[in-house]
Amino acid sequence: MQLTGSQILFKILKEENVDTIFGYPGGSVMDIYDELFRQNIKHILVRHEQGAVHAADGYARVSGKVGVCLVTSGPGATNTVTGLANAYMDSIPLVVFTGQVQTWLIGNDAFQEVDITGITRPCTKHNFLVRRIEDVATTIKEAFRIARSGRPGPVLVDLPKDVIQTRIDEAELKYSISLPDKPVIPNAKRCAKALDLLKKAQKPVIISGGGVLLGRASEELRSFARVLNIPVTSTLMGLGTFPASDPLWLGMLGMHGTYYANMAVSYSDLLIAVGVRFDDRVTSNVEAFAPHAQIIHIDIDPASIDKIVKSHLSIVGDCKPALQWFNKEITSGRLSLPAEQIKSWRQQIRQWKEKFPLAYCRSKKIKPQCVIETLWKITNGEAIITTEVGQNQMWTAQFYRFDRPNTFISSGGLGTMGFGLPAAIGAQVACPGKLVVDIAGDGSIQMNIQELATAVQYNIPVKVVILNNNFLGMVRQWQELFFDKRYSHTDMSHAPDFVKLAEAYGATGFRASAPDEVETVLKKGLHTRGPVMMDFEVEPEECVYPMVKSGDPLTEMSLGDSNIVA
């Protein structure tokens, strides 16, 4: 029996248990789409290729599977670059298939030809240009293995038109691949060295990062922290790894972290950093970061070890087996932290929490923090939340209390505006029975607002909460604080009527203009069938606090009203 390249593609996708593709057709992939017409695989037609990658990204984050995209050549391929870079920065497993002109036209500036493998080399874990029908099966299998193994990431597979049209005898297909698909087991001797540091610690803190989520190690982390009574903070990407309802929880650390998380890290004597890469938004001034602490750094990627913050003890390996090793030592009695040993430390943290909690002032206008707090109360913290990027993202991280892993879906490393809505669509497709809410700003929502049509077409019931302040809020905040309120090109007051726009797309729209309307509009919106867009007219010049100025030590936090705490 002979198979075309397109048929081989779907044969391998089925073997990889792919059930959903996010895509947009075009000339070079028409043969693939023709074959897709005969296949039992769900396809979600987006309105922009960037939206396809973000949707696959959201799908991957909540499902734990590899997200899959299919786009055409030329501009279809280049429109995926931002999504690929976003997934690369956040270590999200994707496989993106791009069409390409016929192999004999490559390099001739043919219609809709671009060197997409060259373009995406810096922002993919790996990429392939498949030049022979004999290599299609092996390449696709390699792509999935690379995407999900080790530190996950996006892989691009470029498929020339003639390769997907060519036929080959099924018996001649090659399937062998060279890459292992096994967890990276940490070195037991290095783990054993960590025991001495743990046993001596009097002011320990755990920093949990996105690697804990990617490694499916949240339960192990929770057990480890609770038995030893070690306070836990997390990076933005680590939210949900440890329950916000737990007394040990410190909240997020870093530029817009809680006062008590930043202080705990700064005055700790031992940091156990699990699945983190110590980016600049977490550390701020690296020289002043955790100056009194010995640092144990556990991460699957050896390139992340000592790259930014020097560790005293590094453990390279998957977070899950590493934490399982420590938990086994706890169970056996070889590892413990006597309550008296860390009693004064926990008292100090309680004092910081009581003196400087997350707070905001009420007013006659809607406060964005109030919208998020109310959303959290109405949903009992059980929704899957996606965000755009900017103030909306930071307020969500602060005021929506995440108790479960893979319920906070946001663009961390790249900070991509326009991420939230398509990511919410992908998350909803992966979890059709869950409530999925995109918390957005009026600026960022407009970058991929066309994907509301996608949600309507497939009746994907995502809910969008717009914190509408008529500004590019985070840039405006910096202009207020550091540029003498020179609001250079951040005024977004010339904007659409989001309620009418939602209705024009076929969705439902609601608006709240006063504080006493917030709860009513949220309840209406969350209980309305289908896609819903809720427009909250919030305080225009509200700022995100606490805030650490870039390059300052974490202990130097502004809490608002020029109140600097040191």
Does residue 564 register a pLDDT over 70?
no
In 247-378, DSSP assigns E strands to: 249-252, 270-274, 294-299, 313-316
Please write the tens of the pLDDT for every residue from 155-165: 999 999 999 99
Rounded average pLDDT over 81-110:
96
Does residue 563 register a pLDDT over 90?
no
Amino acid identity for residue 420 in this structure:
G
Written out in words, the top-level CATH class of the domain with range 2-172 is alpha beta
Rounded average pLDDT over 396-417:
97
Which pTM was predicted?
0.96
- Closest to 246 measured CA to CA, from 275, 294, 208: 208
Residue carrying structure tokens 């008292």: 347
Rounded average pLDDT over 526-540:
97
Q: How confident is the model at residue 185 (pLDDT cuts 50, 70, 90)?
A: confident
Mean pLDDT of the chain: 94
Q: Which amino acids are annotated catalytic?
A: 49, 111-112, 161, 474
Does residue 181 register a pLDDT over 80?
no
Rounded average pLDDT over 218-230:
96
pLDDT score at 179: 64
CATH topology identical between 2-172 and 188-355:
yes
- Closest to 346 measured CA to CA, from 205, 194, 200: 205
Would you say 268 and 205 are in contact if contact means Cβ atoms under 8 Å apart? yes
Rounded average pLDDT over 393-398:
98
Written out in words, the top-level CATH class of the domain with range 368-544 is alpha beta
Does residue 55 register a pLDDT over 90?
yes
Rounded average pLDDT over 327-338:
86
Does residue 390 register a pLDDT over 50?
yes
Ordered by start, the domain boundaries in the chain are 2-172, 188-355, 368-544
Which of 93-107, 184-198, 407-421, 536-550 bottoms out in mean pLDDT, i.e. has the lowest? Answer: 184-198
Rounded average pLDDT over 224-248:
96
* 188-355 is a CATH 3.40.50.300 domain: no
**CB within 8 A of 550, min separation 6: which ones?**
255, 280, 284
Q: How confident is the model at residue 566 (pLDDT cuts 50, 70, 90)?
A: very low
pLDDT score at 561: 63
